[in-house]
Each structure stands twice: as C-alpha cells, then as structure tokens.
A and B are shown apart, each in its own frame.
Chain A
Amino acid sequence: MDDLGIAIARLGAAIVTRDRDVAQLVRDRYKGFVSSGTPEWRLEIDVGPVGGRRAHDDVRVSRDGVDARYVVNRGDFAGTVDLPARRATVTLADANEYSIDSFLRILYSLALVAAHGVIVHAASLVRNGRAHLFCGPSGSGKTTVARLSPDATLLSDELSIVRISEGRARCHGTPFWGELARAGDDRAARLAGIYFLHHGARHALDGVMPRQAIERLLPNVLFFARDAELMAGVLDIAADLVEAVPCFDLSFRRDAGFWEIVDRA
C-alpha cells in the first residue's frame, strides 16, 4: 500500500493506493505539492470496473442520502466524498493522470468550501509579492496572460484557489494546469486584484462594483455539486471575496503591456 501526502492550498490529503501505476502517476504529477504534514483528508484510489456509465458522460455529483456525503461519477471513475469524515474513495477505470486529476479537482472544490475557499477558472500570478487573478472561460486569454508574464511566479494558468480569512484573501498555487501544461508553484500570496478578461484593441482597466463582480465571478467558480447548502457556502465565499479584493474588467491585447495598468491599479 502506497501513501503519498500532498497539500494544495494548505489543505493536505493522504493519497493511498495499492496500484503501483497510480502511485507512480501521483508521485510524478503532484511532485511540487508533496507534503509531510498531517493530512486533513484521506483519498483512497483503486483501479477496477466502474460500470454503468459511458466514457464521455459528464461528471455527476449527488448526495448519496447521507448528510454531506456525495457520490461522484463519470465514465472513467466512480467515487465518494464524505465531507464530515474527510475521506474520499475513487475507483478508476484505468490508471491515468487525467482521471486522477479530474477527481482531485472535484474533491478539492467540495473540501475547500469548509475552509472558506474556492477553485476559480483563472490564471494567477505573483508579481512584486502580490497575487493577481485573471478570470475567464476557455479562450478568454488565461494561458496567454501566463505566457506574457515570464517575470511573474505562476500559481496556475487554468484553475486557481483563493481562500479568505478575516477579510483577507490569499491566492494559492495549484497543480491544475491548462494549455501551459505546467503546474503552478506551491506558494501563496495576498490577492491584490481580480481581473475579468476580455480581448481588446488596447489595454484598459475598469473597476467593477461588488454586485456586478459576483455576477462575473460565480460562472467562473468550479463547482459540481447540485446542492443548495454547499452553493450557499460558495455564494458567501464569493461575496466575501469581491468585498475584500478590488475587481476590474481587463481589456487586453496580446502583449505584456497590460501589466503597466495592473501595477498602477
């Protein structure tokens, strides 16, 4: 039985598996996030038949009848997440990193709510000691922003984690990558600004009030559980976030000049 400790956004998980291929994939994929601390979570990964659903089915997350325990199914895996017990199990149809990574994203999206955190479809970068979060759907320019910022520390080009405590938001690096195919650094910095990306002919920054910022932010929050209670938690976190951090619409063209206006904001 292999047991590897990782921590993403300071939330530790012991990943336990009997499958050697899975163990090796986990070691390789999350090597930048290895942790020797006491893990809050335990994730058991197995390989075997998952049954029932087709390979390309969307992920389905639903309560299994017990409070705060969820069944997580997709064509290539079947698992459970027990929030109070902080335990998760997953059976993979085969040992591959995409299935492992997908389940881990779902697990963290659920587990972070209690830690007052969310996963956001956003690139995040640390520059001059401050983190900046660039939100948007696919094609909005997240990876472009990351590529145009060689002097900044990459936290993620695709899925960033923000945790908020006592009115202060911190952005954390994640191993969840996009087109860049590179994990972010395992570090965190105070979040200085949230920028909603738009392609434009020039660089321009417009402030967004909290009410409008919530409308822009929520569609970018990664969340799978169709559960009113958890959604209320996500809504609270999003509300605290846009109150604590200045939000902007960022129109940018494909060059690094956008940093001039971001740094001035």
Chain B
Amino acid sequence: MPEQYPARSSRVAWRVYDGEAVILLAEDSTLNTLNAVGTLIWEGADGKTPVSSLVGRICAEFDVEPVQAERDVTAFVDKLSQRGLLNVSASPHEQR
C-alpha cells in the first residue's frame, strides 16, 4: 500500500486536555473529541509523518499488534479526512 501523509486541516481549532484532543471545525462549529490513541495520531498528523510512523508510535505506546494498528490508524485517518479534519497526501509537505 502506498504511504499516506495526514495533515491537520487549517480550518480547525484544537487543544489537548488531560491527554485527549478537543477539535472544533470552523465551517460548522462541530465539536470532535478524541481518545488517547486518536490524540496521538492527531498530534502526529503534521503532513510530514507517514501513517507507517504513526502506526509505530501506536504500537510503542499501546498493547496492539502492528497489523491491527495499521488497520485502525488507516480507518481513523480516513474517517477524520471525511469529516474535513485531516487532509491526506501521497507525499510529505510542510504544514502551514
């Protein structure tokens, strides 16, 4: 599978409280909250870090098999992308 580089949208405001991210989407003021695993992915979604690295971080931090972690991270990135919270590229880029 080709590498993917998720990046947080510039249209969101976000903060991490107690290790969990709270994200506001500017378009419609939708509030999203992430658990600890989701927050780790979110914080790593800088446009330069590939999904494979995020999977590695998840496996290092949490008790999960790499295959399962890759499936979960990919699905999570896809879901946040559909919500307009993440932009996904096939190559790394600097986040504005």
Residues of A with Cβ closer than 8 Å to B? 209-211, 214-215, 218-219, 223, 226-229, 231-232, 234-236, 239
> CB < 8 Å: which of A209, A211, A235 contacts B14?
A235
> CB < 8 Å: which of B17, B18, B20, B24 contacts A231?
B24
Main secondary structure of the interface of B (DSSP, over half): strand
B24 adjacent to A235 (CB under 8 Å): yes
Main secondary structure of the interface of A (DSSP, over half): helix
Minimal Cβ-Cβ distance residue in A for B22: A214
B17 adjacent to A239 (CB under 8 Å): yes
Question: What's the interface size class on B, roughly?
Answer: 10 to 19
- Is B75 an interface position by the 8 A CB rule? no
Minimal Cβ-Cβ distance residue in B for A229: B13
Minimal Cβ-Cβ distance residue in B for A239: B15
Cα of A218 to Cα of B29 in the assembled complex, Å:
9
> CB < 8 Å: which of B10, B12, B17, B29 contacts A214?
B17
B24 adjacent to A226 (CB under 8 Å): no
Chain A: minimal CB distance from B33 (Å): 6
Query: Which residues of chain A are within 8 angstroms of B94 by Cβ–Cβ distance?
Result: none
> CB < 8 Å: which of A210, A211, A214, A232 contacts B13?
A232
Minimal Cβ-Cβ distance residue in A for B11: A228
Given A215-B31, A228-B11, A210 and B24 contact (CB-CB distance below 8 Å): no
Query: Which residues of chain B are within 8 angstroms of A214 by Cβ–Cβ distance?
Result: 17, 22
B26 adjacent to A227 (CB under 8 Å): yes
Query: Which residues of chain B are within 8 angstroms of A215 by Cβ–Cβ distance?
Result: 22, 31, 33
B26 adjacent to A226 (CB under 8 Å): yes
B18 adjacent to A210 (CB under 8 Å): yes
Chain B: minimal CB distance from A233 (Å): 8
- Is B61 an interface position by the 8 A CB rule? no
B31 adjacent to A231 (CB under 8 Å): no
Cα of A209 to Cα of B24 in the assembled complex, Å:
19
Cα of A226 to Cα of B24 in the assembled complex, Å:
10
Minimal Cβ-Cβ distance residue in B for A227: B26
Chain A: minimal CB distance from B45 (Å): 16
B20 adjacent to A211 (CB under 8 Å): yes
Query: Which residues of chain B are within 8 angstroms of A223 by Cβ–Cβ distance?
Result: 29
Question: C-beta contact mask, B1-32 vs A, less than 8 Å → 1, else 0?
Answer: 00000000011111101101010101111010
> CB < 8 Å: which of A211, A228, A236 contacts B26?
A228
Query: Which residues of chain A are within 8 angstroms of B33 by Cβ–Cβ distance?
Result: 211, 215
B26 adjacent to A231 (CB under 8 Å): yes
11 more CB-based (< 8 A) A-B contacts, given A210-B18, A214-B17, A232-B13: A210-B17, A214-B22, A215-B22, A215-B31, A218-B24, A226-B28, A228-B12, A229-B13, A231-B13, A235-B22, A239-B17
Interface centre among B11, B13, B27, B28 (most CB of A within 10 A): B13
B27 adjacent to A226 (CB under 8 Å): yes
> CB < 8 Å: which of A210, A231, A236, A239 contacts B29?
A231
